[in-house]
Amino acid sequence: MPQSQPPRHPPSNQFHPTNPTASNQPPLPCFSKSANLPDFLLTALSLFLFITAPKHHLPPRALSLSSPPPSTNRRFLRLTSTMSQNPNPNSTAFPTPQSLSDWLKPRLPSDSFASWGTKPGTKNVHNLWLELADGETSLVDKSPPIRNLEVVCVRVLYNHNRVLIESHQELSDGSIRKRGRPLSEKLKSGEDIEAAVKRAIKEELGSVIFRGNEMGNVNFDQIVRVLMDSYERKVEERVSVSYPGLPAVYVLHTVDAFVEGLPEGEFATEEETEYEGCDNVVADEAVSVKRHFWKWVPVDFV
């Protein structure tokens, strides 16, 4: 009885058109030297087949940073993750406030953008341009854009049972902006937290601290004590009051501090250095804070 022959299997490297996973790409056809085709035609045909073969082995093309993949998490996580995916079109991209305005206009609701600097308590595009130029703010290119910034919040304490809050501000356009929060200031790019706390105290409370004294006669480091052990950090996402229609992600750095020589009752301070060192022409067009109004409240109020 003749032995049954085992079934024949195609070579492992044979191309299976119905099973694309069997091989990354079809093998190049092999022509013998005895073929009645000129050598150059064989070479050209082989090259053509190689170029047109599917490139399954290539990795997928990277996603464009201008279109970050949507997150499946909640909106807050989507915004914070976008901060690292989509770098800021920083101040070098906007040589003038007008160029920034032209960039923002098609990306923001028209009624919201039109209220910048005209609605009481808001700021204008010159303010945002100065923030970008000074390294205090960055923007994520989305519609609407997302404003990213870091802020120090200083809880100035009095006898451990009261904390200083800013009740409201008087702006350069004559409007009043309600606050109801502790002293706060935007960090500059790369600025140390403790240095930012001291700068914030000096800028916003300095007119009271140094009142009646020459600045050289007051040792600022002796009258201001920053309690870095109290440091807390959190992230908040909300639409900015200063720039209606522009969502913002705030990284808040909260620190307690003691400041000697402050009045025990309600008082006001003047700020003269909000845009010190900035373009004077642009600063003159920006809405600035002229006076801060302060009061002491119980610690558990904040």
Q: Quote the CA–CA distance of 63 and 84 in Å, as a whole number.
A: 14
pLDDT band at 93 (very low <50, low <70, confident <90, very high): confident
Q: Residue range 106-128: average pLDDT?
A: 95
Q: What is the identity of the amino acid at 131?
A: E
- pLDDT at 132 > cutoff 70: yes
More confident site: 67 or 208:
208
- pLDDT at 175 > cutoff 50: yes
More confident site: 43 or 20:
43
Ranges 217-221, 237-241, 264-268, 279-283: which has the least confidence: 279-283
- pLDDT at 84 > cutoff 70: no
Decide if 150 contacts 156 (C-beta within 8 A): no
Decide if 25 contacts 56 (C-beta within 8 A): yes
- pLDDT confidence of residue 99: 96
- pLDDT confidence of residue 70: 36
Distance of CA 139 to the CA centre of its chain: 6
Decide if 139 contacts 258 (C-beta within 8 A): no
- pLDDT at 7 > cutoff 60: no
**Domain ranges (residues) in the chain:** 75-301
- pLDDT at 88 > cutoff 50: no
Decide if 252 contacts 153 (C-beta within 8 A): yes
Ranges 28-37, 173-182, 209-218, 260-269: which has the least confidence: 28-37
Decide if 287 contacts 186 (C-beta within 8 A): no
Q: DSSP H helical segments within 92-187, as ranges?
A: 97-104, 110-114, 125-133
User: How far, CA to CA in Å, does 295 sit from each of 163, 237, 263, 272, 289?
Assistant: 8, 27, 9, 21, 17
- pLDDT at 54 > cutoff 70: no
Q: Please give the backbone phi and psi of residue 21, each rounded to the nearest 5 degrees, phi first.
A: -85, -10
Q: What are the tokens at 254?
A: 């909260």
Ranges 91-95, 159-163, 267-271, 292-296: which has the least confidence: 91-95
- pLDDT confidence of residue 273: 61
Q: Which positions ≥6 away from 301 have C-beta within 8 Å? A: 163, 165
- pLDDT at 85 > cutoff 50: no
Is omega for the bond preceding 144 within 30 degrees of 0, making it cis?
yes
Q: Residue range 24-45: average pLDDT?
A: 51
Q: Quote the CA–CA distance of 205 and 263 in Å, as a whole number.
A: 11
Q: What are the tokens at 130?
A: 């100065």
More confident site: 197 or 274:
197
- pLDDT confidence of residue 19: 46
Q: Quote the CA–CA distance of 96 and 133 in Å, as a whole number.
A: 10
Q: What is the identity of the amino acid at 254?
A: T
pLDDT band at 284 (very low <50, low <70, confident <90, very high): confident
Q: What is the pLDDT of residues 199-249, one digit of tens each?
A: 999 999 988 988 755 555 678 888 999 999 999 999 999 999 999 999 999
State if pTM tops 0.85. Answer: no
- pLDDT confidence of residue 5: 52
Q: Residue range 58-77: average pLDDT?
A: 32
Q: Residue range 136-144: average pLDDT?
A: 93
Q: What is the identity of the amino acid at 265?
A: G
